[in-house]
Amino acid sequence: MNTDLQDYSHKRFNILTGEWVLVSPHRAKRPWQGQNESVSNEVRPTHDPNCYLCAGNTRINGEVNPDYKDVFVFTNDFAALQSNSKTFALNNGLFKAESETGICKVICFSPDHSKSLADMGVDAINKVVKVWQEEYQLLGANETINNVQIFENKGAVMGCSNPHPHGQIWSQSTIPNEVEKKDNQQKTYYSKNKSSLLGDYLKQELEAKERIIFENDDFVVLIPFWAIWPFEAMIAPKKQYKDITQISEKESLAYAEAISVLTKVYDALFDCSFPYSSGIHQAPTNGEDNNHWHWHMGFYPPLLRSATVKKFMVGYEMFGTPQRDITAEQAAQRLRDLVK
């Protein structure tokens, strides 16, 4: 391990976005007198009659959820994107705007209100993966949809308004900023090297073994070299696939296992239901071959030192460059030690 990276301030380059992150390992020793988040030790029931996501309950719009037993998907009652939005554009000097359309859905991972992905078995998580595959294919086949973003916000600290285990899909007519950055970086690398940018990166990571948390035959769980969030992690297939529909049944189960392992060690780290935002980045559904893409899933958790101390993206991060204190290698070691 390069000891300079553990002792001195430096920058690390994110190969997928083309951006830098400032790393300040010496700052991890500073005392903390800032805000402490509250920790909920509430034991939730398996069914909450007041939860609009639980089976058999009535949602705000009057629709009644079916008595679902596994995974349940519905169109978001308060969608951020409208499928019937008026088409318009504004080009007035330096004022520029364009209409945007899309379809937003909610995916309930389980009928059990008390669970999270960390509490679900691999087979149950695999059912969620299957629905992700189906929805990516279904929404992506719509000629008005050019990108399908699957994500989950877990925990009140991440803005999640309902603790029922669920995620979302926002599909839209244009490609969002983060996906566009990764599209450009991967396309440039693929054109020059005739190989996958992320695939070549994974080979180097598997050789170094400094940031690997867990691996099975088909997937790698690691802390990216350029990670911003303290315990940020990535799950990626070892083979290059441009989207999740291309993985086999065996690989789907391996992917579910990787999700299970990571979410469990997250919960074990600070002995709490670990909050995070996660999302799958995969090829846009814009009709192009997109053979340069190598899909992956990112987890961005805010907790820094304990269940009550989180990382704030303020000040320098807002006006300069993202910054972190604990190094990727240190974070990986702490999580790796918790894998059972």
Active site residue 166: yes
Which amino acid is present at 141? A
CA 236-242-247 angle, 5° bins: 65
List the end-to-end C-alpha distance of the chain, in Å, as a whole number: 24
**Strand 212-215 relative to strand 147-154, pairing:** unpaired
CA 233-74-64 angle, 5° bins: 130
What is the Cα–Cα distance from 257 to 334, expressed in whole angstroms? 19
Q: Is 295 exposed, middle or buried (0-12, 13-18, 19+ CB in 10 A)?
A: buried
Output the six-digit token pair for 1.
Answer: 């391990």
Half-sphere exposure of residue 274: CA atoms within 13 angstroms, side-chain side: 27
Instruction: Please enumerate in sequence order all residues whose Cβ is within 8 A of that of 189, keeping only pairs 6 or more positions apart, or say none.
Output: 15, 195, 196, 197, 200, 292
Which of the residues 113, 166, 281, 296 is marked catalytic? 166
Contact call for residues 280 and 231 (beta carbons, < 8 A): no
Phi and psi torsions of 102, nearest 5°: 180, 180
Q: Name the residues annotated as catalytic.
A: 166
